Amino acid sequence: MSRAPTSAAFSQSRLISLLSTLGGPAAGTESRHFGPRLGGMIDLSNSVTLADTLAMLERRPFEAVDEDPRRAREDFLRVRAAMIAAVMRSLVPGTGATRIQWPEAVMEAGGGDALKRFYSAHQREMDARVRGVHERSRDALSGADSGLAQLANLDEVLGDILAVHSRRVFATIPGVLVKMQAAAREALLQGAAEAEQQLKSDVQALLLAEIDARLLPVLGLIEALDEHLAEHPGQTPCQAPTQESEAL
């Protein structure tokens, strides 16, 4: 079977580091090894579910799909670009129509709540987009090869198990924004004219880091698919990944 997908839960992500520097929870000192970290996130009932899944993987029937698997990477890149563009439109006036807009009164008293609503709206949109591309990526792997189909099935089960951990991390961010807004407002009152722009830059960095963190499991699937296509170029209708795709 191909290697397991990368996950935000198993890496010292840029998002966690950024949160720590901006006043959020400090980066943990847990073991960096995969096994101990995974074990700390899975309780007894989940471990039984995971064991049952592993036992059934090879017995699942495989049905090949006559579709170019490279479309999975194209889909991933398209979704990632759309998410980044949505963030930038919401932060930079005049760059395009957007449903989510930077709050005009963000530097006033109570602006922290408006900032939380702004960020939470982005999180809801991210969640919907990532769930969609994640499901489509699993489908692409499931129809490309029996080993990749097993990986996709394992990814689905692990994703469900680790979802609570991921939601806990993402849920801490809006609270950090309130502290950031209060600090920026205080700086503005002390004469720092660039305080709002600095706040906006920090929020932008958090949003972009969260996009990458949410997409890491999907990227793991795409990389596993790329690796398979490179090793078995004659097994599918597509060729090995291009140099541009490998540079992501």
pLDDT computed for residue 221 by the predictor: 94
User: What is the per-residue pLDDT for 244?
Assistant: 36
For 103, which DSSP code? -
The pLDDT, as a whole number, for residue 245 is 36
Contact 69, 236 (CB under 8 A): yes
127 Cβ contact list (under 8 Å, min separation 6) = 214
**Is 143 domain-assigned?**
yes
Closest CA to 220 of 117, 148, 160, 170: 148
Cα 59 to chain centroid distance, Å, stands at 31
φ, ψ (nearest 5 deg) of residue 170:
-65, -30
Domain presence at residue 2: no
Residue 14 lies in a domain: yes
What pLDDT, on a 0 to 100 scale, did the predictor assign at position 35? 47
Q: Would you state the torsion angle of the CA atoms of residues 20, 87, 162, 50, taken in this order, to the nearest 10 degrees? A: -140
Which residues of the chain carry a pLDDT beneath 70? 1-13, 24-67, 234-248
Report if residue 1 sits inside a domain.
no
Which residue is associated with the tokens 């899944």? 53
Has residue 3 been placed in a domain? no
Rounded Cα distance, 224 and 202, in Å: 33
- pLDDT score recorded for residue 237: 42
Domain of residue 24, residue span: 8-246
Count of structural domains, the chain: 1
**Structure confidence by residue, pLDDT tens digits, 175-187:** 899 999 999 999 9
pLDDT given for residue 218 in this prediction: 95
pTM of the model: 0.76
